[in-house]
Chain A
Amino acid sequence: DVKVTQSSRYLVKRTGEKVFLECVQDMDHENMFWYRQDPGLGLRLIYFSYDVKMKEKGDIPEGYSVSREKKERFSLILESASTNQTSMYLCASSTPTGGGQPQHFGDGTRLSIL
Chain B
Amino acid sequence: AQSVAQPEDQVNVAEGNPLTVKCTYSVSGNPYLFWYVQYPNRGLQFLLKYITGDNLVKGSYGFEAEFNKSQTSFHLKKPSALVSDSALYFCAVKTSGTYKYIFGTGTRLKVLA
Judging by beta carbons under 8 Å apart, are A103 and B46 in contact?
A: yes
Kindly identify which residue among A50, A100, A110 contacts B49, using a CB–CB cutoff of 8 Å.
A100
- Knowing A41-B105, A42-B90, the reply to whether A31 touches B99 (Cβ < 8 A) is yes
Smallest beta-carbon distance B100→chain A, Å = 7
Smallest beta-carbon distance B53→chain A, Å = 11
Query: Could you list which residues of chain B lie within 8 angstroms of chain A, going by C-beta atoms?
Result: 9, 32, 34, 36, 41-46, 49-51, 90, 92, 94, 96-101, 103-106
Binary contact track A78-114/B, C-beta < 8 Å → 1, others 0:
0000000000001010000111101111111010000
Kindly identify which residue among A40, A97, A105 contacts B99, using a CB–CB cutoff of 8 Å.
A97
Q: Which residues of the partner chain B approach A97 to less than 8 Å between Cβ atoms?
A: 94, 96-99
Smallest beta-carbon distance B23→chain A, Å = 12
Kindly identify which residue among B34, B99, B105 contacts A42, using a CB–CB cutoff of 8 Å.
B105
Q: Which residues of the partner chain B approach A99 to less than 8 Å between Cβ atoms?
A: 51
Scoring A4, A103, A106 by chain B CB atoms within 10 A of each residue's CB, the highest score goes to A103
**How many angstroms from the CA of A98 to the CA of B98 in the assembled complex?**
8
- Knowing A40-B105, A43-B90, A100-B51, the reply to whether A56 touches B99 (Cβ < 8 A) is yes
- Knowing A4-B43, A40-B105, A41-B105, the reply to whether A50 touches B99 (Cβ < 8 A) is yes
Kindly identify which residue among B34, B98, B99, B106 contacts A102, using a CB–CB cutoff of 8 Å.
B34
Smallest beta-carbon distance B106→chain A, Å = 5
The reply on A45 being an interface residue by CB < 8 A is: yes
